[in-house]
Amino acid sequence: MKTILVATKKHNYPIIIDYNLFDSPLPFTTLNNGDRVMIVTNKIIFSLYFKKIFNQLNNIGIKIDYVVLPDGEKYKTLLTMNMIFTSLLEKLHNRDSTLIALGGGVIGDITGFAASSYQRGINFIQIPTTLLAQVDSSIGGKTAVNHVLGKNMIGSFYQPNSVIINLDCLYTLSKREFAAGMAEVIKYSIIFDNKFFCWLEKNINKLFNLNKKAIFYCISKCCKIKSKIINEDEYEKNKRALLNLGHTYGHAIESELGYGVWLHGEAISAGIVIASFTSQELNFLNNIDIERIINLFKKCNLPIKGPKNMYVTEYLKHMYRDKKIYKNKIRIILPIKIGKAIICDNISEKIIAKAINKSQNLMY
C-alpha cells in the first residue's frame, strides 16, 4: 500500500493506492461507528462494487444510504445532481453525513460538487474506478457539472477527505476507457517529467497488459505529481493551470460534439496534439518532440486530430466561452519541450487556425 499526502493550507488528506482494497478493510480514516454515509454511484459500478463497499462500511458500524445515477458524461448536469440532494433530504441527512463517490470522473465531479453545496458543505470521499479518475479527476478538489454551452462551467474547489484507489478496478475497464485515461497520464509527463515520458515510451505495452508493477508505478507517479501541484497551488492561480494542457482545444471538441460522444481523454489527446502544433507555430516546440508525442498517443490508439467536420470557427466559438479565458484573451497551455510547459496568453486566432489545420492534415 502506498499513501501520498495532499497538504493544502486548510485541509490535508491521503491518497491511498493498492491492489485488493475492496477485499480487505478499507482505510476509512474519517468515519466512525454510527456515522452516516450516502454512496453515489451509477448502474454499472453499482453491480460491480457496491456490495463490497457496503459490507466494509457495515462491518464498522456505518449507516449506509445510496443513490444510483445514470451513466455517462451527458448526465453530468445540475438536474442529475439534484437527484443527490433529493435523496439526502428524503433520508434526513445533515452536516454530519459523508458522501462517497464510487465511480469514474463524472461521479466524482458531481458528487464533490453536491458535497460542497449540501447544507453549505459536507464531507466526501473519492473511490475512483477508472484510470482517468484515479490519476487525475479524483485528486485536487475540482468539482463541477457541465452546461449545454460549456464543460465544467458550474462548480467549486472542494477537497475530499480521502482518495481510495483500488487498482483492481482497472481490470473491468474497456480498452477504450483505459486508453482515455492514458491521455491524462501522458499529459503529466509532457508537462513535468521527461524521464517519465521516456518510461512511458518503453512501458506502454506493459501498462495496456495491466502489468501490476508497471501500473502501480505509473499511477503512484501521477498521483505524486498531481498532489505536489495541488499543495503549491490549490486554486489554480498559476502552476496548477499547467494541468490544463490540451483542455482548451479538448473541451471545445466535447462541447461541439455533445458530451460523451468522445471520451474526455480522447478529446484531450487531440487537444494536446493541437496545442503542440500551436507551440511549434510560435517557435517553441521542435519537430522531434512533436513526433514523439504523436507516436505515444498513436500507441495508445488515441485520436491525434479533432473531428473531421469540426472547423476553426467551431473551435473558437467554444474557446471564447472557456473558463480559462483571461481578460477576453485566449489562454492556452503550450509544451515547449517534453517535460516543460508554459501558460501563454493572447494567442492570435491566426496561430490557432494554423495549428488546428496542421493537426487535421496529419497523414495518419
Residues forming the active site: 120, 142, 184, 226, 236, 240, 244, 247, 251, 264
**Within 13 Å and on the Cβ side, how many CA atoms surround 351?**
19
Q: Note the Cα 344 to chain centre separation in Å.
A: 22
* Single-letter amino acid code for the residue at 128: P
Residue 25, all three cell numbers:
478493510
The Cα diameter of the chain in Å comes to: 61
Cα–Cα distances (Å) from 233 to 6, 62, 162, 239, in that order, read 11, 34, 19, 6
Q: How far apart are CA 101 and CA 163, in angstroms?
A: 10
**299 three-class SS:** helix
Helix (H) or strand (E) holding 273: helix 264-281
Residue 351, all three cell numbers:
496561430
User: In this structure, what are the phi and psi dihedrals at residue 23, rounded to the nearest 5 degrees?
Assistant: -110, 5
DSSP state of 241: G
Helix (H) or strand (E) holding 335: strand 332-337
* Beta strand 2-7 pairing with 12-18: antiparallel
Q: How far apart are CA 255 and CA 247, in angstroms?
A: 11
Q: How far apart are CA 137 and CA 130, in angstroms?
A: 10
Residue 191, all three cell numbers:
508537462
Of 218, 209, 264, 236, nearest in space to 76 by CA: 264
End-to-end CA distance of the chain: 41
- Are the C-beta atoms of residues 24 and 12 closer than 8 Å to each other? no
User: In this structure, what are the phi and psi dihedrals at residue 279, rounded to the nearest 5 degrees?
Assistant: -65, -40
- Are the C-beta atoms of residues 74 and 258 closer than 8 Å to each other? yes
Residue 314, all three cell numbers:
467551431
